Each structure stands twice: as C-alpha cells, then as structure tokens.
Amino acid sequence: MSGLVDGRVVIVTGAGRGIGRAHALAFAAQGAKVVVNDIGVAKDGTAVGVGSDGSATGESPGEQVVAEIVAAGGTAVVNGDDVADWDGAQNLVRTAVDNFGGLDVLVNNAGFLRDRMLVGMSEQEWDAVIRVHLKGHFAPLRHAAAYWRAESKAGRRVDARIVNTSSGAGLMGSIGQGNYAAAKAGIAEMTIQAAAELKNYGVTVNAIAPAARTRMTLGAGGAMAENMAAPDSGFDAMAPENISPLVVWLGSAESKDVTGRVFEVEGGRITVAEGWRHGPTQDKGERWDPKEIGPVVADLLAKAEPPTPVYGA
C-alpha cells in the first residue's frame, strides 16, 4: 500500500528524540526518505553523543532513529549539523540533495530550554535559546528556500513544504519561559512571512504549536507542566506520536493549498490558531491630544476580545 508521502525527501531537525523522532518515524512509515538531523544534546543544549568534528556518533539518538527506520524497511540517513550554524544549515540541505537527489519537505523542530523568570535571566540564557529556536529555524529555511528558488528558476516544478514548530508559549506566553516564548512567537510570525515570500516558488510554509510529553516539557515551568501525567488507561493524549499525523499531512502533496497557518495540536485535537488581526479602532482624522486618549482606549478595550491568559499566570 502506498504512503501519503511516497518518495518525498524530508529533513526533520532535532529528530533524535521526542516529537522530532516521532515525525521522522511517521514520515518514513508513509514512504518518505528522511534526513534525521540531531546534534545530540541534553535539553539545556549541552553536547551529548557528538564527535569531535561535530557529526553524530554511532551512539547518537539520530543514529538510533535511522536504525529504527531502516529496520522497518524505510530509508534514512543521519545528519549531525548544528541547525543554528549558517554553514551547518547549508550542509543539512546538501545532505538531502546529495543522498536522495533533492528536497521536498523541511520540518524545523530542534530546540532546547533554559527556563528562568525574566528578572533573573542571564544574557547567555536569552541568547542561547533565541539562537537555537529562532535562528535554528531561519537558517535551514533560508538554505532550503534558496535551493527551491534555484530549482524553480531552472524551470523544474517545485512542490515543497516547510513545517515550523512554534508553541503555545509563543502564542500566549508562558511564565518563566520568556526567552522560549519570544523565540516561538518569532517562529510563528516568520512562518507567515515566509509563506508570503515563497509562494511564487511553489513552497508552502505552516507551523504547529504542539503539546506533548517530551524531555523539554517534563519538569518545565511552562505551558505543559500540568498535563504531564500519563493516563491510567486508554488513549495517551500527551504522546509525541499524536503530533506527527498533521505534520506528515502538511508535508504531503495534499496540503498544497494550505500556507501561512499555525495549528495547535494536542492528542486528537487540531485547532487553527488565530493571531494578531486588526480590532476595534477610532480615527479622529487628526493628531490626538494625550489628555483625550484615556476614554478612547477604554472604549476600544471594551469592544475588543479579551486576550488569552498567559500559561502559568
């Protein structure tokens, strides 16, 4: 029986564990050729299972996922590049092209946490999380997009997909995760931006905001902490594998008309997130006096939808 993504070449970043691993296995099960990217780090970003040259070792989680895919009759290769490194991200795209002759889908998933309240957060804790999440999405996206643009300009048909990973923390905020929330909010907006810019090259760009039990959410002070207990019986709503069916579909040819969207997904529930949009307005037709503003703002807020509460507030 043919799979939904038969023959498509897919990169999944951060695919050694958790949601990324589930994505890689799900794509392979549906017939895709998968580049399993994993640098092999702990959830705080410290290196684990990486060789001196920066590549994944035989003991790396990425190698283990590739072995699972191959054992099940699928096709996969490992890549140990740092997705937030400019040259590493370029090499990641090259890995797909060199091994499988092209690239059809990029799933940006890699990330880690360094949780702390903003008042106590260090510059390094801020920079590290912004780098891995936000730049770690942009760099692979940019190099994949350059590949597809070149293919399109050469007259070859492009039917490509990018699936980014935002978070409920990025959409609503999460107490104690200001760096992570800011990065994930940036990813949601970058998704909308990229969808508009890449449409003419045959590329769709969407994002998910997943909720699942992973290393990053276990013990975290943010959005997922209250939901971590596995159920006593029946459907495990917090299993990482629940997230992947939507991602596989978004990576398929069937999703060609869907772009610039962010989907929240948890268990068996899929929600279309509705972000910033123009709300109530008053136009005086000339410059306001500051003394006039109070009643105007009060009236606008009375007409506006209340904001969704921040996680943990």
Catalytic residue numbers, as ranges: 167, 180, 184
- Side chain identity, residue 59: E
Residue 278 C-alpha from the chain's centroid: 26
Residue 267 to residue 212: CA distance in whole angstroms: 8
Is residue 106 a contact partner of residue 11, using CB atoms and an 8 Å limit?
A: yes
User: Checking DSSP bridges between strand 203-211 and strand 262-266, what pairing results, if any?
Assistant: parallel
d(CA 251, CA 253) in angstroms, rounded, equals 7
Angle at 43 between CA 37 and CA 48, to 5 degrees: 60
**Max Cα-Cα span within the chain:** 71
d(CA 164, CA 154): 27
Tell me the C-alpha distance between 276 and 311, whole Å: 18
Q: How many helices (H) and strands (E) does the chain have?
A: 9, 8
Q: How far apart are CA 167 and CA 74, in angstroms?
A: 30
